[in-house]
A and B are shown apart, each in its own frame.
Chain A
Amino acid sequence: MTMKQEKKRIYLRAALGLIALLAVLLALDNLSFVPSMLLTVLRKGAIYALVAVSMNLLNGFTGLFSLGQAGFMLLGAYTYAILTIPAASQKSIYQRYANGGIGFSIPELLSKPLGGFGLLLGVIFCLILAGCIAALFAFLIGLPVLKLKSDYLAIATLGFAEIIRAAVVYEGFGPLTNGSNLLYGFTSFSNFNITLGGFTLHLETVMPFLFSGICIAIILLLINSTYGRAFKAIRDDEIAAEAMGINLASHKRMSFIISSFFAGISGAMLAMYQASVQATTFKSSMTYEILLIVVIGGIGSVSGSIIASFLFIASSEWLLRFLDNETWIGGFRVPLLRSGFRMVVFSVIIMAVVLFFRKGIMGDRELFQKKPASAAKAAKKEVRSK
C-alpha cells in the first residue's frame, strides 16, 4: 500500500469516526433521560480540549513555555461577543455607556437574507475573526517576547494575560467592552436549535464538538506536516534545527500565533457556551487549569490533551461535586466534606500526577498511532528480504 492510499484511508476513517460521534451526541442532546450534567461536561470538555491542544502545540510540540492562554481566550471571547450582540439589545446591555456597542451584529446581518445558513456563516466568520484578533496580539507580543528563554517567556506571557484582563475593564474602552459589566445576549450554541412545529431539535452539544473537531483536525494536520516536524526539531535541539536551515525566529512566531489563534476561537466558544462574558472569568487560574490538562494528558500528545480535558471537566464540574456538600448519613456527619474540600482533593491529585505519573496519561504517544515496535519489525523484514 502506498503512503497516499494509507493517508486517504486514515482521513476517511477519521471523518467517519467524527460523523459517528456527532450522531451519538445528537442523540444524547435530544433524549430527555440524559443527565444535564453529562451534557455540560461534554460541551465544556470539547471547548477545553481545543484550548488544551492549542497550548500543547506551543508547549509540547515547539517547546515554548507560555502562560498567556487565558489572555488570548479573553480576546477571542470579547471579540466574538462584541460582534454578535443583536443590534436591538445593545442599548440595554451597554446602558452605562451612551453610544455603546457597535450598532450591528454580524450573524444578524447575514441571517436576514440567508436564514439559518446565514446565522451559521456569521458565527463562523466571527469565530475566525476572534481567532485573528488573538493571533494579531500574539504577533505583536511575540516580537519582543519570543526572544526570551523559557522561564522568562512564561513570566512575560502571564503578565500579558493579566494586563489584557485589566485593560478590557478600563472605562475608556467601556463603549466597546462594557467595562467590568457582563456582555450577554449574543449568539450562543442554543441559537442553533431547530424548532419545527413544536418540536425542538437540540444541537447545543453537537456544535461545540463540530467546531472543536475541525480546529483540532487542522492542528493535527499542521503537526504532521513539515512545519510540525520543524517545530518538534526546535523543541528537541535548537542549534541542530538551526543548522538544518530552520529559521528559529519565524517558526517560533508561527507556532505562537497559531496557538493563540485557536485559543482565541476556544475563548469565543466558551463565551457561546456560557452565554455571557466577563473579564474575571479569564484569570490566570484558568491558564493553570489548561496547563494541568496538558500535563495530565501528556506533554506532546494531542489525544492525551483531549482525554484529559473531558476527565478534568467531568471531575471538576460533576464527579467531585459531592466533596463540596455537607453530607449526613443518619445522624453522622461525614468529616471533611464541606465547601472548598473539592479543591483540596484536586491539589492532591495534581501532586500525585506530578510525582508519580510525570509523563501523563499518554506520554508523547497518540491514541491511534501506528505502533513503533511493529513498524520497526516490518522495516527489518523488508531489509532482510532484499
Chain B
Amino acid sequence: MLEIKDLHVSYGGIQALRGVSLNVPDDKIVTLIGANGAGKSTLMRTISGLVKAQSGSILWNGQELLGKPIDQIVASGIAMSPEGRRVFADLTVVENLKIGAYLRKDKAETEKDLEWVYSLFPRLKERSWQSAGTLSGGEQQMLAVGRALMSKPKLLMLDEPSLGLAPIVVREIFDIIRTVNQQGITVLLNEQNANMALKVADYAYVLETGTLTLSGTGAELLADENVKAAYLGKKRADRA
C-alpha cells in the first residue's frame, strides 16, 4: 500500500505539486489522468526518488520513502517505466532486461523472471539479440515495461505507456497491464489516453495544475460529466 500525504514538490522552478494526497491499495490498478503539466510525471518521479519533495510524506507499506536513495526505493519493490520509453538504444534487448534486474543478487530467480517477461512479450524473445534502438515504438514500450518488471516490483509505475503508439498497440499494452496486475502486481498508471486508462483502472485520480480535483472508481469517472468534457473529448450534456 502506497500512501501519499500532502505532497509538495517544486520542479524546474515551478510548483508542480501542491498538497497531493492519495492512496494506491495493493493489487489494484490506479490511474492518474490530467492534462500536460498537471504534475502526473512529477508525482511518479518523486515516488521513485528522481525528484526531491519539499514537504509531505510518501509511505510505502508503512515506511517513509522521501529522502531515501533511488536504489533503496527500487530494491523495496517499486519500479518505474519512464515517460518516452527511454530504452538503452545501443544495448541489446536482453541486456536492457538484465539492467532492469541490476540490483538483484538472486541469479537463478532473475533467469526465471527473464523467461516470465519473455512469456508476457514473446516478441522481445524473438528480438533478444537486436539492439533496442532498432525496435519499433510499440516493441520499445514493451521492452520498457519488461525492463521495469525485471526488478520484480510489487508496485509498477508506468508513465504514459501509450504515448505515440498506434491504437492497436495501445490495446496490446493495456492487455499486458491487466495480465501483470492479475499476477499480483500493483499498477500506478499515468495516462493521457483517459478513455483507455479509466476502463482498466480500479481507481482513478484527476490531477489539475498540481492538485487533485476528482477521484473515484474508473467507471465513476468515465461517467462523470466534467471528466467527459475535459479528458474524453465528449461535449458536456448541459451545453449540447
Interface residues of A (CB under 8 A from B): 226, 229-230, 232-233, 235-237, 239-247, 300, 364, 370, 372, 375-376, 379-380, 382-383
A226 to B99, CA, bound (A): 8
Q: Which of A235, A240, A376 contacts B127 (CB 8 A)?
A: A376
List A contacts of B122 (CB < 8 A).
Answer: 383
Q: Contacts of B71 on A, CB cut-off 8 Å?
A: 245-247
Q: Can you list, as one digit per residue, whether each of B78-98 has a CB less than 8 Å from chain A (1) or not (0)?
A: 001010001111111001001
Chain B residues in 8 Å Cβ range of A246: 71, 99, 102
Flag if B89 contacts A240 (CB, 8 Å). no
Of the candidates B70, B92, B102, B128, which one forms a contact with A230 in the assembled complex, judged by CB atoms under 8 Å apart? B102
Q: Which residue of B lies closest to A378 (CB)?
A: B129
B48 within 8 A of A: yes
Q: Are the C-beta atoms of A245 and B129 separated by less than 8 Å? A: no
Check A226/B128 contact, CB under 8 A, given A243-B80, A383-B122. no
Contact B91 A236 (CB under 8 A): yes
Q: B84-120 toward A: CB 8 Å interface, digit per residue (1/0)?
A: 0011111110010011101100000000000000000
| Contacts A/B (CB < 8 Å), 7 sampled | A232-B95, A233-B102, A237-B89, A244-B100, A245-B73, A245-B74, A247-B69
Cβ of B150 to closest chain A Cβ, rounded Å: 9
Q: Are B90 and A235 in contact (CB under 8 A)?
A: yes
Query: What chain A residues lie within 8 Å of B74 (beta carbons)?
Result: 243-245
- Determine how close the nearest CB of chain B comes to the CB of A369; give it in whole angstroms: 11
Q: In the complex, what residue of chain B is closest to A246 when comparing beta carbons?
A: B102
> Are B102 and A364 in contact, CB atoms less than 8 angstroms apart?
no
Docked complex Cα distance between A380 and B129 (Å): 10
B131 at the interface (CB under 8 A from A): yes
- Contact string against A for B residues 149-183, beta-carbon threshold 8 Å, 1 for contact and 0 otherwise: 00100000000000000000000000000000000
- Shortest CB-to-CB span from A72 to chain B, Å, is 26
Q: Which residue of B lies closest to A3 (CB)?
A: B111
Asked whether B92 lies within 8 Å of A380 as measured between CB atoms, the reply is no
Shortest distance between the CB of B208 and any CB in chain A (Å): 26
Q: Which of A240, A241, A375, A382 lies at the interface centre, i.e. has the most chain B CB atoms within 10 A of its CB?
A: A240
- The reply on B75 being an interface residue by CB < 8 A is yes
> A316 to B90, alpha carbons, bound, how many Å?
33
* A372 adjacent to B129 (CB under 8 Å): yes
Interface residues in B114-139 by Cβ distance below 8 A to A read 122, 125-131
Interface size class of B (residues with CB under 8 A): 20 to 34
Given contact pairs A243-B82, A376-B129, A229 touches B147 in the complex (Cβ within 8 A): no
Inter-chain CA distance A233–B131, complex, in Å, is 12
Q: Which residues of chain B come closer than 8 Å to A300, judged between CB atoms?
A: 90
**Nearest opposing residue in chain A for B44, CB measure:** A243
> What residue of chain B has the Cβ atom nearest to residue A379's Cβ?
B128
Interface check B50, CB cutoff 8 A: yes
CB pair B88–A232 under 8 Å, yes or no, is: yes
Rounded to whole Å, the gap between the CB of A368 and the closest CB of chain B is 16
Contact of A244 among B69, B102, B125, B129 (CB under 8 A): B102
Contact A240 to B75, CB < 8 A, known contacts A376-B129, A383-B122: no
Query: With A232-B95, A245-B70, A372-B131 in contact, is A226–B102 under 8 Å at CB?
Result: yes
A364–B91 alpha-carbon span in the complex (Å): 11
Residue of A236, A239, A247, A370 with most partner-chain B CB within 10 A: A236
Contact A372 B92 (CB under 8 A): yes
In contact, A233 and B70 (Cβ under 8 angstroms): no
| B39-69 interface code vs A (CB 8 A; 1 in, 0 out) | 0000000001010000000000000000001
Closest 9 CB pairs of A and B: A245-B74, A240-B86, A236-B88, A375-B129, A245-B71, A376-B129, A245-B103, A233-B99, A372-B129
Contacts of A229 in B (CB 8 A): 91, 95, 98-99, 102
Closest to A370 in B: B129
Residues of A within 8 A of B127 (CB): 376, 379
Determine whether the beta carbon of A245 is less than 8 Å from that of B88: no
Q: Of residues A233, A375, A383, which shows the largest number of chain B Cβ atoms within 10 Å of its Cβ? A: A233
Assuming A241-B99, A242-B70, A243-B70, is B126 touching A379 (CB within 8 A)? yes
Chain A residues contacting B95 (CB-CB under 8 Å) are 229, 232
Given contacts A232-B95, A245-B71, contact A240 B130 (CB under 8 A): no
**A240 pairs with B82, CB closer than 8 A:** yes
Q: In whole angstroms, how far apart are the Cα atoms of A235 and B99 in the complex?
A: 13
A232 and B86 within 8 A (CB): no
Chain A positions within 8 Å of B103 at CB level: 244-245
Given A226-B98, A236-B90, check contact A379 B82 (CB 8 Å).
no
Question: Contacts A229-B95, A372-B129, A383-B125; is A245 near B86 (CB within 8 Å)?
Answer: no
Contacts of B125 in A (CB 8 A): 379, 382-383
Smallest CB separation, B210 vs chain A (Å):
22
Give B159 Cβ to nearest chain A Cβ, in Å. Answer: 10
